[in-house]
A and B are shown apart, each in its own frame.
Chain A
Amino acid sequence: MMDAIKSLLRRPEAGSILSLVGVVLFFVLFGGANLATLVGAASWVNFAANLGIVAIPVGLLMIAGELDISIGALIPAGSMTTAILSGYYGLPTTVGIAGALMVGVTVGLVNGLLTIRTSVPSLIITLATLVAMQGVVLSASVLLTGNASVALTAPDWAKFLFGQLIGGSHQVIIVWWIAFAAVTGFVLHKTRYGNWLFAMGGDKVSARNAGIPTDRMTIALFVLSAVSATFVGICQAILFNSAQVSGGMNFIFNAIVSVVVGGVLLTGGFGSVVGIFVGTITFAIVSQGIYFTQIDRNWSNLIIGVMLLLAVLMNQSFRDLALYFRPRRKQGLPREPANP
């Protein structure tokens, strides 16, 4: 039991799990929240799923040493493209979805190519594409439809796949989120590609010298994050039967907070998908679960700020634990101190 706890503490997700436990305890003990109601509530799960699908690729990029904030503009870009093509012009929904995904692929390619071809940090590059895409979405929407909000009626199959409310409350995007986390977790931790990402985040030049196709990997990651963002936009448009040009900006900081609380090192080279997943849940519970407590909703940002700091501090000490850990000698010799 003690060994299990100790080995958990050396994992990247340790800080996020403790944060989650801490936040739930805080809400139950000091906020008077009912644990069963809180766990059963759909609001934070829906919130987490929408955020989580974006947070995972943002986290993977961070592990590889890059940052993508253009997702903030790509969520409305995804929903507007779907709504304009399939709602305003009445094209088949498949065309709307394909169009939205193509927007994601294009912006992702631009982000990736600019990152590998220039020495400009990806934060600045994606800040530029973020602002640029906001402009594109707004003007295209006004130019084509004369409106900043477009209605969309999706057929049953699209509703079923992307906009269903399971049990009348849980959005179907939750299933997508869990599946996405499972696939990316497998790739990151069990395949060689995952190893390449960690190496790229550790030292890009050495990784390239070791024969890793760092350029192709970088482009693929940016495309993945842009496509994931448009996917969230598509799901929202189909669920709510409409799309707006605004919205999505909150996702940028929310995703980064989730990823960092999840134990991903901001400078790259360390992290886990489980951590990002739990970090997202933690974030969602703080911002949505607060409605189930007697705590005023306005305090939630304070809690998030404190939690972020605490989680990063915890992650730092857990990383040191992992660094200086030496396993117990096989012959039953006394254990050496974990942190000499």
Chain B
Amino acid sequence: MNDKPAILELKNVNKSFGPIDVLHDISLRVRAGEVLCLLGDNGAGKSTLIKTLAGVHKPTSGQILMDGQPVAFTGPSDAQGRGIATVHQFGGTFPLMSIGRSFFVGVEPTKGWGPFKIYDRKRANEIAVKAVRDFGITRIDDGDRLVGGLSGGERQSLAIARAVHFGARVLILDEPTAALGVKQASHVLRIVNEAKKRGLAVVFITHQVMHGMAVGDHFAVLIRGAIAADFRKGEKSREEITDLMAGGETMADLEAQVEGYMETHEGHPPSPKVLEAPAAH
């Protein structure tokens, strides 16, 4: 499907904090123009994995490769410098700053000379608004608006547009749709697709299987710090993935149980109490 070499690759990465092993033998690769969907329940080690990818943690053992070359990130800024951008759940973290100002935090465009070098508000706003609109968010038209007044989806979009504008090649999206409503989430998913089209490698972390299936090319399910399944788009159904994430056949069991009850009880679904005490049947 995609024979390009991986931009970012993990090879047998382990991470432990003191005596606690958090990641076991993780091997992953993500290519340009591909969305790697990282699924996992809470506590599965997703955030440790993200932080390892983003240079916050160093792997205890194993290798990180970029474009086939082994790299060792000295810190998050090093990883950023190499083109790895992380966008967190709430997107823009400066709610009381204007769109233009927060877009350019740390790299403000200036005009003028010497001590009178002033922040170029007009240019910052223009670039920021254009960058977001290019991603299809046309509701943003004034760079002076405060980030906190944007909807959750718009904020995510702004953060993604920012990362892309500043030359990210790998985009790590940490639960970008978790706190959003259905419509907002679909905005964000559209933007993930747009980023993919532009040739970025996207690591999309979520526990919402539907969102993952909407954009993912490649899936990895993380359970207790290890990759429990690694498959391509279309190889598994939603139910299978949900079951995997839940750590086995729990959901299928539950459904079978409900169906069994309905068969023996003239089609009535069981009351929750019955399900809580399956031994009674």
Tell me the A residues contacting B by CB distance below 8 Å: 190-192, 194-196, 198-199, 202-203, 206-207, 209-212, 265, 269-270, 319, 322-327, 329-330
Contacts and interface: CB of A to CB of B under 8 A. Distances in A.
A209 B97 contact: no
B149 A211 contact: no
B162 to A, nearest CB: 10
Contacts of A192: 108, 110, 117, 119
Interface stretch (B99-107, B206-214, B251-259): B99-107
Contacts of B102: 199, 202
Contacts of B94: 198-199, 202-203, 206, 269
Contact of A202 (B76, B93, B104, B106): B93
A207 B76 CA distance: 12
Interface stretch (B140-148, B172-180, B228-236, B260-268): B140-148
Contact of B104 (A195, A207, A270, A322): A195
A195 B119 CA distance: 9
Interface of B: 76-77, 80, 93-97, 101-102, 104-108, 110, 117-119, 141-142, 144-146, 148-149
Given A192-B117, A203-B94, A324-B149, 13 more contacts: A191-B117, A191-B118, A199-B94, A202-B93, A202-B94, A206-B93, A209-B77, A211-B106, A269-B97, A319-B96, A322-B146, A323-B148, A330-B141
- Chain A CB count within 10 A is highest, among B95, B142, B149, for B149
Given A191-B118, A323-B146, A198 B106 contact: no
B106 A212 contact: yes
A228 B170 CA distance: 46
B107 A211 contact: yes
Contacts of A325: 145-146, 149
A209 B118 CA distance: 23
A291 B144 CA distance: 43
Contacts of B106: 196, 199, 207, 210-212
A190 B77 CA distance: 26
A210 B105 CA distance: 7
Contact of B118 (A190, A198, A203, A327): A190
Contacts of A270: 96
B161 to A, nearest CB: 15
12 contacts: A194-B119, A195-B119, A198-B96, A198-B101, A202-B97, A206-B94, A206-B105, A210-B107, A211-B77, A269-B96, A323-B95, A327-B145
- Chain A CB count within 10 A is highest, among B96, B107, B108, B148, for B96
A190 B144 CA distance: 14
A198 B108 CA distance: 13
A319 B94 CA distance: 14
Contacts of A326: 142, 145, 149
